[in-house]
Structure 1
Amino acid sequence: MRLFKLTVATIFRRKAWAICLFAVLFLPFVLPLISSASEKPVLLQPARIQAAWGTLFICTMFWGFFAAARLGESNTRSGTGEYFRTTGLTATRQLFEIWLAIFVYIVPLAFAAAAVCLLGAMPSESSEKAMWLTLNFQYLSLFLLVFAPLLALATALASRFGGITGFVVTFFVTLYGLYGVGYLDNMLKLEANSALQTLWLYSPQYRFADLTQRLYFKTGALTGEVFSNMVLYFTAILAVNTGISRLCFRTSSNA
């Protein structure tokens, strides 16, 4: 795991992860105080929920994807990947270790967002507390399941096509899956189109993993069947993204 340790140390020295952790932990408590939510105490907890998960998504999509793309490009262009290849570390193993090094920084951010909701927005009704714990666990699980392969995708694309391409493509794929497919769905409801229908059918529906509105309106946790189906769906997408990432990833500019 030498490449993993090297990558972890590189990310640690750049300190951007600390800024993201600070933002996820403190912005949910600061932003509501300078917004209209401060005028109505009943809105403070919902505002914290939106700020916590919103900050997490922003940090992951900007810093996480950027760090993944930068490391993927650096591994190829600096000769690091080629060196580790001569020591017997395969391309698949290199991709895994770079991805794992980034993922270990994303996981604490996700837990921090969930902790803010549990400690700073827990319902007062005792009957709702169990539901709240379950819903936050479901949200945390789906978030990690969605973003884990996207980090690998950014790394792999950057290793082959450059850091800018790796970041931009992954960023817009995520943005499209979170919001674009919703607009496309609304368009299809107004006017049928076979080409757009096919596009929508094969699009990654990342929007289903965004449970912020369920937390905001306290509509309850997902049923076991629905949650299991979502896990299976995003696991299938994970498999597809993993395959694409492995095909794109390379360890040297000449390979």
Structure 2
Amino acid sequence: MRLFRLTLATIFQRKAWAICALAVIALPFALPMISSATEKPILVQPARIQAAWGTLWVCTVLWGLFTAAREGETNAKTGVGEYFQTTGLSATRQLFEIWLAVFCFVAPLALITAAICQFAAAPADPVEHAMWWTLNLQYVTLFLLVTGPLLALATAIASRFGGITGFATTMGITLYGLYGVGYLKNMLQLEANPILHGVWLFSPHYDFADLTQRLFFKTGALPTGDFWSMILYFGGILAVYTGVSRLCFRTKLSA
């Protein structure tokens, strides 16, 4: 795990992760206090939920994907990847270790966000409170299952086409999966189009993993069957992205 330790230390030394950690911890408490939610105390907790998960998504998309892309480009551009390959570390293992180093910073942010929602925004009603643990656990699981493959994809694309391309491509996929598919669905409801329907059908529906509204409106945990269906769906996307990432990833610049 030499490359993992090197990448982990490099990210840690840059200190940008500390800004994300501070934002994830502080903004869920600060933003509701400067919004209209303070006029009605009952709205403070829902506003805190939106601020918490919204901050996490923003930090992951902007910092997480950028960091993954930067590390992938650096590994190929500086000769680090080529060096480790001469020591017997395969390209597949290098991709995994770089991904794991970035993921080790993203995963704790997700756990912190879930903890804030659990202990600082949980409903007082005993029935709703009992489902809060399950819903937060489901959200963290789906969030990591969505963002994990995207981090690997950003690393792989950046190692071949450059950091800007890797970051922009994966950020575009993420935003499209979270919001674009919703606009596309609205368009199809207004006017049927077989081509657009096919595009929508095969699009990554990351909006399924965004359970913020369920927390906001206290609609309870996902039914077990629906949750496992989502696990299988995003697991399939993970398999596809893993294959694409391995095909794209390279350990050195082409001559």
Normalised to the residue count of structure 1, the TM-score between the two structures is 0.99
Structure 2 counterpart SS, 1:203: coil
Match of 1:172 in 2: 172
Instruction: State the distance in 2 between where 1:27 and 1:15 align.
Output: 18
| Identity among equivalent pairs (%) | 68
Q: Deviations over 1:136-189 (max 9, x none)?
A: 000000000000000000000000000000000000000000000000011111
Structure 2 counterpart SS, 1:4: helix
1:71 aligns with 2:71: yes
Structure 2 counterpart SS, 1:129: helix
* Superposition deviation, residue 119 in structure 1: 1.1
1:104 aligns with 2:131: no
* Superposition deviation, residue 209 in structure 1: 0.2
Instruction: State the distance in 1 between where 2:24 and 2:39 align.
Output: 23
* Superposition deviation, residue 194 in structure 1: 1.1
Structure 2 gaps of 5+ residues are none
Match of 2:17 in 1: 17
* Superposition deviation, residue 127 in structure 1: 1.7
Q: Deviations over 1:203-251 (max 9, x none)?
A: 0000000000000000110000000000000000000011110000000
Match of 1:62 in 2: 62
Match of 2:126 in 1: 126
Match of 2:42 in 1: 42
Match of 2:144 in 1: 144
Instruction: State the distance in 2 between where 1:124 and 1:206 align.
Output: 30
Match of 1:183 in 2: 183
Aligned residues: 255
Instruction: State the distance in 2 between where 1:85 and 1:72 align.
Output: 14
* Superposition deviation, residue 89 in structure 1: 0.3
Instruction: State the distance in 2 between where 1:210 and 1:125 align.
Output: 23
Normalised to the residue count of structure 2, the TM-score between the two structures is 0.99
Aligned-partner residue type, residue 190 of structure 1: L
* C-alpha RMSD of matched pairs (Å): 0.7
Instruction: State the distance in 2 between where 1:183 and 1:30 align.
Output: 31
1:192 aligns with 2:199: no
Structure 1 gaps of 5+ residues are none
Instruction: State the distance in 1 between where 2:193 and 2:128 align.
Output: 43
